[in-house]
Structure 1
Amino acid sequence: MDIIKCKVLLTAVDAGSFSAAATILGYTPSGVTRIINALEKEIGFAILMRSHKGVKITKDGAQMLPLLRKLVHFHEQTEQLGAQIRGLDVGNLTIGTFYSIAACWLPEIIKAFQSDYPGIKVHTMEGANSDLLHWFEEHRIDCCFFSEYPVEGDWIPLKRDRLVVWLPQDHPKADLSVFPIEEINGAPFIETLPDCNTDIERFLREKKLRPDIRFTTIDNYTTYSMVAAGLGISLNKELMSVNWSGNVAIKPLDPPYYITLGIALPSLHNASPATKKFIAYAQKVIQNKYGEKM
């Protein structure tokens, strides 16, 4: 099975249309169509359903998709290892990440990594926990910055981050040094990324807390701005709070609650050379940044 055809197919599936895949790959839409038609003929059944709105995977195609992703993944690993043996450092690396880590950690990590390995292209996919788990299970990402969570694979801890509450500066509890978690019950609340299995959702379930969810957003900064406007309180990781300033009081919880952030991947032993190098750089940057080693 031709690996190029498989890559074109996966790009079309992920992009949602032949024209979008053509733009990403530098092909013409008709070229993408011919390649996928040839692959479907080779396999013996339709993989994609076409419509004027784009493409969707067929039922038979959905069964093939995980194997095709693995095929492309292991082909990439083979190419990287061959390049390493020849004394070259080339390849592609796809990183899954939280929005907070993408903003606060990744620029510094990628800068250090690219200075030594400019031939390795780094792609990022940002999302919530539910997105990251889905991409991880589908082998769409090589590794994933993630909160500690039961996944099939290896887990490399990087840093413990505490949960903090965001309060309007005129909130009655804004002058306290810590915020009692029982005060969350019934409080007007702004939730970021609802129904995405976030760390905040898991914390509220674990502690059996029921805030009065007045508003929901899909962006942390929007939530922060709504808290500053006095529309409610919210919760977030401390990491997400360090780069912004505004009319928001940021308080640790009482009792404190910590979340371990790290990197998940299917197998460190079987990871590509580029993935192993990238993880080593991430560990070094985070250790230098915070002065802690886990």
Structure 2
Amino acid sequence: MDTEKCRILLRVIAAGSLSAAAQTLGYTPSGVTRAVNALEREFGFPVLTRSSQGIDVTPNGQRMLPIIREFVRRGDSVRELGLQIQGLEVGELMIGAYYSVAANWLPDIIRSFQAIYPQIRIHILEGDNKQLYGLLNEQKVDCCIISRREYQGEWIFLQYDELVVWLPEDHRLAQGKVYPLAALTEEKFIEPLPGGDTDVAHVLQREGVTRNIQFTALDNYTTYRMVEAGLGVSINNRLMTASWKGKVKILPMDPPRYIELGIAIPSLAEASPAMKRFVDYIRKWVQDRQPVTNTCGN
């Protein structure tokens, strides 16, 4: 069994079909089919079922997936280290990221990182806390840049980010310097990412603040525009609106509240050489370009 066939299988599962995987891999559909068939012969049982709607993973295939992902990851580490010894930096990374991080940090980070390491390819998966920690636990990403939750792997702190209240410009409290959190019970609230284990939900639950949820939105920018339209107020982290311009007043909470942003990774010691390079680069980038006071209380 070789890692390339396993990598093809994982890409087929992620893409949802053999033909879609072939496009992303630069293979012919028949080449992808031959690789998957060869792998199934080695296993002695099918790992996929095919239909006109796409593919599904068989129960036996589901049992094999964690080991296959680990096998590919180990194979990548061996290859990367060998090339690193030769003076070459290569690799392929799958990075999960909070929406605000993906939009406001990663484009600049990846651009400058690839100027140094052009042979390291990076793929980004955006999501909320629930989705991203799920991807980590299923070993579908190498790491996540996210807010802190209870997690079995390692946590690498990056910075604190302030939670702020979004108000329409003509809101009765929009001209204040802070927004008293107790006033939230009187508002029409727009809930971002419902069911996504958000920092907003965590903080309000911890503070015992009841919110009157009038609307929900699965996209943070949609939430922002709904506030701009005067439909209600919302809460998000300050980094989210770093590059947005609109008729929305952004106020700190009273009392102030912060989230802890960092890198969740199964094991930095066991990560591939390319992953270690990327983690080191992110830490330095945040320290140099996103200075904040890291003594904030939660």
The TM tier, using the shorter chain, reads over 0.9
| Partner deviation per Cα, 1:118-165 (whole Å, 9 max, x = no partner) | 111111111111221121112222221011111121111111011001
Identity rate, percent: 49
| Partner deviation per Cα, 1:191-211 (whole Å, 9 max, x = no partner) | 221111121222222223232
Question: Could you tell me how far 1:232 is from its partner in structure 2?
Answer: 0.8
Aligned to 2:224: 224
Are 2:167 and 1:142 equivalent residues in the alignment? Answer: no
**SS of corresponding position for 2:203:** helix
Could you tell me whether the CA contact under 8 Å between 1:287 and 1:293 is conserved in 2?
no
Question: Could you tell me how far 1:231 is from its partner in structure 2?
Answer: 0.6
Are 2:245 and 1:248 equivalent residues in the alignment? Answer: no
Aligned to 2:32: 32
TM-score by length of 1: 0.96
Extract unaligned runs of 5+ from structure 1. none
Aligned to 1:87: 87
Question: Could you tell me how far 1:2 is from its partner in structure 2?
Answer: 2.0
Work out the CA distance in 1 between the residues paired with 2:94 and 2:185.
Answer: 40
Q: Give the counterpart letter for 1:239 in structure 2.
A: L
Q: CA 1:215–1:83 in 2, change beyond 3 Å: closer, same or farther?
A: same
Aligned to 1:175: 175
Question: Could you tell me how far 1:62 is from its partner in structure 2?
Answer: 0.9
Are 2:164 and 1:164 equivalent residues in the alignment? Answer: yes
Question: Could you tell me how far 1:254 is from its partner in structure 2?
Answer: 0.8
Indicate the larger mover: 257-266 or 213-222. Answer: 213-222
Work out the CA distance in 2 between the residues paired with 1:293 and 1:72.
Answer: 40
Q: Report the RMSD for the aligned CA atoms in angstroms.
A: 1.4
Aligned to 1:268: 268
Q: Give the counterpart letter for 1:225 in structure 2.
A: R
Work out the CA distance in 2 between the residues paired with 1:4 and 1:143.
Answer: 22
Aligned to 1:287: 287
Extract unaligned runs of 5+ from structure 2. none
Q: How does 1:111-130 map to 2 (within 5 A)?
A: 111-130=111-130
Work out the CA distance in 2 between the residues paired with 1:127 and 1:56.
Answer: 23
Work out the CA distance in 2 between the residues paired with 1:87 and 1:48.
Answer: 39
Could you tell me whether the CA contact under 8 Å between 2:160 and 2:292 is conserved in 1?
no
Q: CA 1:285–1:131 in 2, change beyond 3 Å: closer, same or farther?
A: same
**SS of corresponding position for 2:232:** coil
Aligned to 1:75: 75
Aligned to 2:4: 4
Question: Could you tell me how far 1:36 is from its partner in structure 2?
Answer: 1.2
Question: Could you tell me how far 1:186 is from its partner in structure 2?
Answer: 4.8
Question: Could you tell me how far 1:109 is from its partner in structure 2?
Answer: 1.2
